[in-house]
Amino acid sequence: MAEGHADSLCDCCRYNDVIPDLGTPGNRERWAALEAAKRRLFHTLDLLKLPHGTEGENIRVPLSFSFMADALPDQGLWRSTASQEKVYTGHANGHITINVKEADDVERERLRVDMNESHRTLIGHFRHEIGHYYWDLLVKGQDESTSCRVFGDHNNPTYSDALEQYYQQGAPTDWPTRFISAYASMHPWEDFAETFAFYLDMVAVLDTALHMGLSRAEYDGTLDSMLRAFHQVGMAVNELNREMGPLDLARGVIAPAVREKLAYLHELIQNANASSQAP
């Protein structure tokens, strides 16, 4: 084995199908940011003991990633490349694609404002798309009836119809009483993914807070105790952020309808944990 080279990939890089073109200036740094976010994601998944694996391993839906670009940076802006199709950040059959532009802080903030999103972060994309992955892995063909009861019927309307309606009409005015985000109101699949991402937000923030010695982050494993701990930590961090200007970390109130969805995910994740530990 040559010096500086390994004969196998690490537990995160082995999931990569496509990485950015490292010949493009700045892409090495963007790839590093993508991998840093992906490693935070995998830490949280492993903390929850959620199953995942690659093609050829004992997993019903193999997981993989592609980090691709449909545009090139040009003096701080991004210009389209006519030779390529547009790359959409998304998930399909266990494969997660992230547009490399999302690793550019300026471009991501521009998109956040253009899309009227309260938050748009790199780690947030990973947590959202992995929510779609776990719908395929843990719900599809197994627990769809319960998911429909909690999140709504994902077959009616169709995803394409719901997407068109959302971008024409926007979210309903009462979305905060029923959904974790405006985008979650678009379709039950997006509601699941957005709520799943928020659940991972809570677990990751509380895990870090506990390791930083914050006693307010302690909880007993129940959903209610987790919500209380996240509220306490979140409100403290919100006040610190307001002193310096960044966006709030945590929302102030979780609506009852959202709590019901989180309760479903809490049980789903615990059951997946128990199944993965079974001999």
Q: What is the pLDDT along the chain (279 residues), one digit of tens a residue?
A: 445 555 567 888 899 999 998 888 888 999 999 999 999 999 999 999 999 999 989 899 999 999 988 766 665 555 665 556 788 889 999 999 998 888 877 677 776 656 666 677 899 999 999 999 999 999 999 999 999 999 999 999 999 999 999 989 999 999 999 999 999 999 999 999 999 999 999 999 999 999 999 888 999 999 999 999 999 998 888 888 888 887 777 777 899 999 999 999 999 999 998 766 655
Q: Position 127: which residue type?
A: R
User: Would you tell me how many other CB atoms lie within 10 Å of the CB of residue 80?
Assistant: 10
Interatomic CA distance for residues 147 and 56, integer angstroms:
29
Give Cβ neighbours of residue 233 (< 8 Å, ≥ 6 apart).
205, 206, 209, 214, 216, 217, 250
Residue 118: predicted pLDDT? 65
Helix%, strand%, coil% for the chain, nearest 5: 55, 10, 35
Residue 78: predicted pLDDT? 57
Report the Cα 17 to chain-centroid distance in Å.
Answer: 19
Q: Are strands 77-80 and 71-74 parallel, antiparallel or unpaired?
A: antiparallel
Whole-model pTM: value is 0.89
In DSSP notation, 136-187 reads IIIITTTSHHHHHHHH--TTSS-HHHHHHHHHHH-S-TTGGGT-SSSGGGS-
Residue 121: predicted pLDDT? 86
Residue 79: predicted pLDDT? 62
